[in-house]
Copies of this chain bind each other. A is one copy, B any other.
Amino acid sequence: MNVHEAIQCLKKNGFKQTDKREDMLQLFADSDKYLTAKDVFDQLKEYYPGLSFDTIYRNLALFENMGILEMTELSGEKHFRFTCAGHQHHHHFICLECGKTKEIDSCPMDGLMENLKGYDISGHKFEIYGRCPNCVE
């Protein structure tokens, strides 16, 4: 998924193409990082002086609903990143300093379902936290 595909996805579902949406998506496309609403706001604010937080939150929620962004909650804040696509289900190491991620290709759910008969599984979360080599120096 890239910015262009994301925009097409929006239009296909009756949502409008706006400069702010494009710029928000471009931010994520460029970064491979988990960003908070504030991160996004701060970066777009330079180009859109009158920017409202509502616009950020509304669009982040929209993008998440559309499957364009994926979200995780870290220390009480929602963090978003471009949805990983193109290969199989996987998980992430997340740098708590810069938000950068590294893919973990295995999924701990593999071979675990037989232990959970009778349970209705709606989701799972596997994340590794720390500092990436860059942030370690």
Contacts of A136 in B (CB 8 A): 118-120
Chain B residues, Cβ within 8 Å of A102: 116, 119
Output the least CB separation between A89 and chain B (Å).
13
> What is the bound-complex CA distance between A123 and B93, given in angstroms?
10
Complex contact B126–A122 (CB within 8 A): no
| Total copies of the chain | 2
Asked if A29 lies at the interface with its beta carbon under 8 angstroms from chain B, I say no
CB contacts under 8 Å to B, within A93-137, are 93, 96, 102, 104, 106, 108-109, 112, 115-116, 118-133, 135-136
7 shortest A-B CB distances, which residue pairs?
A: A108-B108, A118-B133, A121-B130, A120-B131, A122-B130, A124-B128, A123-B129
Residues in B with CB closer than 8 Å to A108 are 106, 108, 126
B124 touches A125 (CB 8 A): no
Q: Quick check: is A50 within 8 A (CB to CB) of the other chain?
A: no
